[in-house]
Amino acid sequence: MFYNFFIPGGVGGDAYKVYILNKKFRWNAKRLTSALFCDRLSGLIAICSLICVLSAILIPEWSWFFLSMILIGLLGTYFLTLKLFSNFKKIFWLSLGWSMVVQMFQILSFTFLLMSVGVDSDFVKYAAMFLLSSVLSLVSFAGIGIREMLFFQISKYYQFSPTYSLAASLLFTLITAFFSLFGLYFQLRTLNLRTDKTKDIYEFHKK
């Protein structure tokens, strides 16, 4: 979380992790990149699926369309994984499931922040916008500014409170930054990461 928050570009932290793991353990860089790509892909599919679920709730007459998009997205991603990353096919659904759980907890956290600043309705709309901003944050510096801009623009067309939504969004960003800073301890401290427990993994990545 420290790398992804403080290294620009959303995926900058992942690129740095590939570099560190390759340098420290001599693990295969291509295999590491594939693993991180699949991790990102499962997260993106989880977010998009949840956006479709929330959109179906908000626009029930279009629910068939959004549910169809979920099915197409899940099957398309699964077959893409089978084709390009067959080593990860056994953990595809497990990884996707954990990604769903993580995103739902983020929605729950953001909902509590909205309640703390005085919001008492339209939580489904806020949640959909929150997830959409998570997708857009891939092209920003750790998502800073994207979420706030999105909520401000949406408030012009829907019954959003720009004050409350921006306050909750800034709180979410500040809390994330605070806990990410604990990663600085491991960045500054010299850790002997190579242990007997990594031996099998090391041999696996050498192949």
pLDDT above 90 covers what percent of the chain?
28
Hey, is 180 helix, strand or coil?
A: helix
Reported as a single tens digit per residue, the pLDDT across 104-126 is 999 999 999 999 988 888 889 88
Place of tokens 């549910």: 67
The answer to whether residue 66 scores a pLDDT higher than 90 is yes
92's tokens: 């595809």
Those residues whose C-beta lies under 8 Å from the C-beta of residue 71, and which sit 6 or more positions away, are none
pLDDT above 70 covers what percent of the chain?
81
Least confident of 110-119, 156-165, 193-202: 193-202
What average pLDDT does range 71-85 have in this prediction?
91
Domain boundaries, the chain: 2-189
Query: What's at 161, amino acid-wise?
Result: S
Q: What is the per-residue pLDDT for 118?
A: 86
Mean pLDDT of the chain: 81
Q: Which residues of 149-163 are buried (b: 16+ CB within 10 A; e: fewer)?
A: ebbeebbeeeebbee
Place of tokens 């720009």: 162
